[in-house]
Chains A and B, each alone.
Chain A
């Protein structure tokens, strides 16, 4: 696929799926510790997500980096919006901000945000 086709393909994935994780490996067999942490967090929250293995296609692996001007993988998108890489998502999860974001965006997850 050309660079433009890759960008269009990524845009479509992110638009068509509420939660998309671009990762190394897949959710059953993550092939990088950072991707593995993301899977653990999303599985823990019981989020329904689409996992895309960037190792399957070199042009995808490079294309996802320019898509959001973000040089590393994994990358998490919720409702079309880039949320962050592993550090940010973990920080947000620990502060319950990820759960809040999911609730705000209307994405169902097992641990609904407690309202005070």
Chain B
């Protein structure tokens, strides 16, 4: 079941309001996305923790409604 890119962005922003998010629909089918997310909240966290924050923001949609979301996360350059 596909998920809209705007919906992904909305859920992430809800959790991380400062996030700068770039989402690409990789296959044009609304089911395979790549997201680059930059947020101050990631600072000092390792990649696993950063991705877990995003998965948490997506409220269980990851692995369910959303099959493929490639993630690249980082804190803003200071």
* Residues on A facing B (Cβ under 8 Å): 34, 65, 69-73, 82-88, 91-92
Interface residue SS majority, chain B: mixed
Contact A87 B71, CB 8 Å, known A70-B55, A71-B60, A71-B63: yes
How far is it, in angstroms, between the C-alpha of A73 and the C-alpha of B55 when the chains are bound? 13
Q: Is the CB of A88 within 8 A of B68?
A: no
Name, among B48, B55, B64, the residue most crowded by chain A CB atoms within 10 Å (CB to CB): B48
Bound state CA distance, A92 and B62, in angstroms? Answer: 22
Instruction: Give the interface of B toward A (CB within 8 A).
Output: 47-48, 51-52, 55, 60, 62-64, 68, 70-72
Can you give 5 contacting A-B residue pairs, CB < 8 Å? A34-B68, A83-B48, A87-B70, A88-B51, A91-B72
Expressed in whole angstroms, the minimum distance between the Cβ of B67 and any Cβ of chain A is: 9
Give 8 closest A-B pairs by Cβ, nearest first: A71-B63, A71-B62, A88-B47, A72-B63, A87-B71, A87-B70, A71-B55, A84-B48
Chain A binding site: helix, strand, loop or mixed by DSSP?
Answer: mixed
Report yes or no: A65 in contact with B63, Cβ–Cβ below 8 A.
Answer: yes
Do B48 and A88 touch (CB < 8 A)?
A: yes
CB pair B70–A82 under 8 Å, yes or no, is no
Chain B residues with CB below 8 A from A73, complex form: 63
How far is it, in angstroms, between the C-alpha of A69 and the C-alpha of B60 when the chains are bound?
11
Using Cβ atoms and an 8 Å threshold, which residues of chain A touch B47?
84, 88, 91-92
Q: Which residues of A contact B68 (CB under 8 A)?
A: 34
- Assembled-state Cα–Cα distance A82/B70 (Å): 18
Nearest chain A CB to B61 CB, angstrom units: 9
